[in-house]
Chains A and B, each alone.
Chain A
């Protein structure tokens, strides 16, 4: 292989080399000069918090359309030293890159062979196909099932019947069939596994790691994205750590400890988002409990809560942190009443019957959902309608009685809305502007205003500053601090940004595998936070 100017001899040994990758989404820098290098046949872990940029990096590698429709990327991708331009998933496939997705791309009604061969079926030419094109080729199922069998055997799945229907198979098997599909593609050199163990049982996860080893032995490189650091230590040869879109370090696994990984994942200069002057200390008593969860379960697909026990004190600002999919988002959605719950939730000592709609609202709990467009707003209605809606329905506010009917009191609604617009500095043309036409940050303020209109004693905010600019971020967090200190409102904050949580919470619970893993203080070490996020006890860390 010729060495070109600027390259070092080292470049040759890498199968995949992503150099200095940068990506911007609508002015937001998501990747800042990231490098990723993978040797042939090695298992390389890609580690980082949510939002670190792992998904975007893989999107670029895989040529996903979302990259190109938002301005492309900077940097270079090399395969075996040769620079290539990957502009579509198809090109990526032709370069030998495969991806095993988190959400399966299988068709339950089809059998295993059909699924493995999806979109790449083998056909025999017929007289008609010669004239009209390959769509009229006859399907050669004998050949295809042979190849499917081979693919399954090569990953040790001898007990999966290639003629069986996929519907009803255990999730682990579905995962393995996905893998078999990628292996079956000719010329596969690199396989990306995106959080593959997230949906597997422990036994299936172990199986999966074994399959990875088998594949790597064949000379196929693997990029393994996971937050489970123990898995990284168990199976990976080397790893790259990303943090806030920046490349932190690339190391061989044997040269690093789990604790160090955790620390590097989290550690950053903490730029406190809330001025210390606002954070007056106060006495919080363990005897005055605002919100208590006992064996709390929430059946939210993708964010299941599997038995949470925690007590939140009156007047406290309590944070829930943790990685995506671990359950922190499920907490509030269960209280809202959008998903089935089990176990007990107590508000000021009173047990809430969450099966009744609006139960939490009627007990002085207000909330702001993380999904502001899907749950938090009536996009087609005015700012005024949005802000006044819940209080109107639950507390009969902004209404006038006319005979037996309760009619909208436009004057009161308008006045209150203007107050809220002023308080939160909502940039809009007035109370009658449609919520859907506001910017993300202002939409979030409207959601917050709606919750505040309820005059709650407990305010639960989920991802309060997601996707909004730094100015609005500060405003929101300062406001939360303010009402906590001035009115004693108990605040429960759920966020994937540790910085935010460590800026104003009194205590932070890290949620892992649907349970509270540990309750930490804002000034606990970065390593401690990192390990907790990864679900690793300090004793287990090597």
Chain B
């Protein structure tokens, strides 16, 4: 009896906590059905957009953690990336090398910008979000000044491909085909494996040197680590596998299978560990075994013809996904460091953090720098995938859409996870793809569908901000000070306050 009501309670609270995500999913579903678009089209579109946008959305997580709220200032990271791209295209460089150069230019710029933004936010504690919003517009203005007036105007540039005819200002659209387009997407898997192996080799050698210098203790983990990658590298020489790995794309079916296999192996390892090593009772096996069965089930489902057709249609570029996985891993990893713990503490309560000896201002600036750099890389991934550089528009919408996507996935101003980011991107962009067609079917007007999706993206943010402000306000009702010493400063009140917001 108790278990049943417990279950309903849990189900109820799950529904309530994730109401935004569920409502959005319902709208998505309705739109998909209404639009009548084929699933192959939708799934392909969604995965393309996942490739493009997820990295940027993931870059929003760390500021949320550190109490800076939704980072409307990622526009500035995108600007750093775009300046870099312009330089690289101007110098006529392309391919993966050109992309690396873009990273090399964009990163220090992003670090500088992130530092400045962080400093500004420290002067506006409690109003970071509105500050970020306005700052984004301000930076856009400066960017336009640079690209429209200075480049080509004050600094004459002679390049008809890049400059508006008449000589004043950079063109509205720059075609990246031939230089940076697909620079990341088109990296072959076999190349990735090779490079990764060499990097791991170098890292292991450094660890050995440090060990010899007595600065670092080598352990089993390091050798296993090296062994796995060495093994992978070796395997890649087998002809069939080499052939398979020589492409840059993986069809979704194969990707899904590979992921399922890896996850299944991880579960098996967990099971082996818990039985042989930790000697835990058999009932703890229930969860892992069920998980394995679920994986098996998913794999079985892929044999259904319609599903198989869709999965075979969609081709995924491998490197961006590896990068996304890498960022997810990074977001997790940083939490287990002192820096991450400091960020969490600062995010929970600046006053308690300060009293505990944490340098609050420095921690916040570091969080902003990381986020801005990640946003710049995200913008590079975005631009190389989309293939055309919309000079004056590429950076303006990304903050809005990235934040809306994050919120749709169930995140809030105080809490954001990798999972929420990914779910959010999927849901948000699905709606994006099907809305115009759905609008056409429903109202005989595709434009309405387009406007609807813009409305939803603004609305989701407005709703989330309002809900956050509501809970914030309830916690923070300021009473009179009860006669705190007026002329004579008393011990500074140290209260457990949640982050404030403006």
Q: Bits for B349-364, please: 1 = Cβ < 8 Å to A, else 0.
A: 1011101111000000
Q: Once the chains are docked, how many angstroms separate the CA of A534 from the CA of B484?
A: 20
Shortest Cβ distance from A65 into B: residue? B492
Q: Once the chains are docked, how many angstroms separate the CA of A37 from the CA of B359?
A: 34
Question: A186 to chain B: closest CB distance in Å?
Answer: 14
Complex contact B483–A463 (CB within 8 A): yes
B220 CB–A CB distance under 8 Å? no
Q: Once the chains are docked, how many angstroms separate the CA of A303 from the CA of B337?
A: 42
Known interface pairs A66-B491, A123-B338, A135-B338; A301-B479 also in contact (CB < 8 Å): yes
Q: Once the chains are docked, how many angstroms separate the CA of A375 from the CA of B481?
A: 9
Chain A residues lying within 8 Å of B338, measured Cβ to Cβ, are 121, 123, 134-137, 139
Complex contact B358–A119 (CB within 8 A): yes
Chain A residues lying within 8 Å of B483, measured Cβ to Cβ, are 324, 329, 370-371, 462-463, 466, 496
Q: Once the chains are docked, how many angstroms separate the CA of A329 from the CA of B484?
A: 11
Q: How many residues of A contact B (CB 8 A)?
A: 62
Name B345's contact: one of A118, A333, A375, A463 (CB within 8 Å).
A118
Q: Once the chains are docked, how many angstroms separate the CA of A59 from the CA of B353?
A: 19
A110 CB–B CB distance under 8 Å? yes
Q: Once the chains are docked, how many angstroms separate the CA of A375 from the CA of B484?
A: 12
Complex contact A103–B495 (CB within 8 A): yes
Q: Once the chains are docked, how many angstroms separate the CA of A114 from the CA of B287?
A: 28
- Residues of chain B in range 243-281 having any CB-CB distance to chain A below 8 Å: none
Q: Once the chains are docked, how many angstroms separate the CA of A325 from the CA of B351?
A: 23
Q: Once the chains are docked, how many angstroms separate the CA of A466 from the CA of B489?
A: 13
Chain B residues lying within 8 Å of A118, measured Cβ to Cβ, are 345, 352-353, 356
Classify the secondary structure of B's interface with A.
Answer: loop
Question: A446 to chain B: closest CB distance in Å?
Answer: 14
Complex contact A104–B496 (CB within 8 A): yes
- Residues of chain B in range 324-347 having any CB-CB distance to chain A below 8 Å: 336-342, 344-345
Complex contact B210–A127 (CB within 8 A): yes
Name B357's contact: one of A25, A119, A135, A324 (CB within 8 Å).
A119
Chain A residues lying within 8 Å of B216, measured Cβ to Cβ, are 125, 127, 130
A148 CB–B CB distance under 8 Å? no
- Residues of chain A in range 214-259 having any CB-CB distance to chain B below 8 Å: none
Chain A residues lying within 8 Å of B482, measured Cβ to Cβ, are 300, 302-303, 324-325, 329-330, 370-371
Chain B residues lying within 8 Å of A28, measured Cβ to Cβ, are 487-488
Identify the interface centre among A108, A127, A462: most chain B CB within 10 Å of its CB: A127
Q: How many residues of B contact A (CB 8 A)?
A: 43
B348 CB–A CB distance under 8 Å? yes
Complex contact A374–B496 (CB within 8 A): no
Complex contact A138–B487 (CB within 8 A): no
Complex contact B336–A90 (CB within 8 A): no
B1 CB–A CB distance under 8 Å? no
Chain A residues lying within 8 Å of B203, measured Cβ to Cβ, are 127
Q: Once the chains are docked, how many angstroms separate the CA of A107 from the CA of B358?
A: 14
Q: Bits for B474-502, please: 1 = Cβ < 8 Å to A, else 0.
A: 00000111111111111111111000000
B440 CB–A CB distance under 8 Å? no
Q: Could you write out 18 A-B pairs with CB less than 8 Å apart?
A: A25-B487, A55-B490, A56-B488, A66-B492, A106-B496, A107-B345, A107-B349, A110-B344, A114-B341, A120-B357, A121-B338, A123-B337, A135-B366, A136-B338, A302-B479, A329-B483, A371-B482, A462-B483
- Point out residues on B near A: beta carbons under 8 Å: 203, 206-207, 210, 215-216, 336-342, 344-345, 348-349, 351-353, 355-358, 366, 479-496
- Point out residues on A near B: beta carbons under 8 Å: 25-26, 28, 30, 55-56, 58-59, 64, 66, 70, 89-90, 101, 103-110, 114, 118-121, 123, 125, 127, 129-130, 134-139, 300-303, 324-325, 329-330, 333, 338-339, 369-375, 440, 462-463, 466-467, 496
